[in-house]
Amino acid sequence: MMESDPLTADWTPEQIAVMHRLRDWVIDFGELNQHLATWMRLPGADANALGQIIWAAETNAPLSPAQLSRQIGMTTGATTILLNRLEAAGHIHRTRESTDRRRVTLRPTPDARDRARRFLGLAGAEIANVLHTTPPAELRTVATFLARMSAAADEANQRLGR
């Protein structure tokens, strides 16, 4: 953990630039999420949750309601209400895939997945272009750096959650 005050520490121009670019990405990603919400005709929080559910399913790591609650920063009760809305609208279904039948898994419906894919086809072209034209070595460096930043943020969140 850092010993000095992060607000008054001497930062290099490169460190400042990285923090600005990370902030810019968070803002831009949030704006893209709002466009997804409009596309899907959902409130922003619902679109964010649906995006998390779809992403997890696409990576073959489907979420439980408790995991989703942590990712979207909502209480389990509020997440249950949100999931009820998404399920009633035909965007998700809850399954019991584990040997522990108490464990619920969240899955997007095929229609929700298809609509989100169509949105990404429209909204993700520029991002896909950057990913496809960036050399693999640079992508590995960025992925390693972002993994370290995420681990540091996770550590801080765990410490603050105690």
16-37, pLDDT tens digit by residue? 999 999 999 999 999 998 999 9
The answer, yes or no, to whether residue 162 has pLDDT greater than 80, is no
Q: What pLDDT score does 34 carry?
A: 92
Cα(162)–Cα(160) distance, integer angstroms: 6
Q: What pLDDT score does 103 carry?
A: 83
CB atoms within 10 A of CB 94: 14
Question: What confidence category does residue 6 fall into, taking pLDDT thresholds of 50, 70 and 90?
Answer: confident
Check residues 17 and 161 and name the one with the higher pLDDT: 17
- What average pLDDT does the structure give for the chain? 90
The answer, yes or no, to whether residue 9 has pLDDT greater than 70, is yes
The answer, yes or no, to whether residue 135 has pLDDT greater than 90, is yes
Phi/psi-derived region of residue 155, left when phi > 0, alpha when psi is between -120 and 50, beta in every other case = alpha
Q: What pLDDT score does 17 carry?
A: 93
Is the separation of the CB atoms in 44 and 33 below 8 Å? yes
**DSSP codes of every residue in 67-98:** HHHHHHT--HHHHHHHHHHHHHTTSEEEE--S
pLDDT digits (tens, 9 = 90+) for 76-118: 999 999 999 999 999 999 988 777 767 889 999 999 999 988 9
The answer, yes or no, to whether residue 1 has pLDDT greater than 60, is no
The answer, yes or no, to whether residue 132 has pLDDT greater than 80, is yes
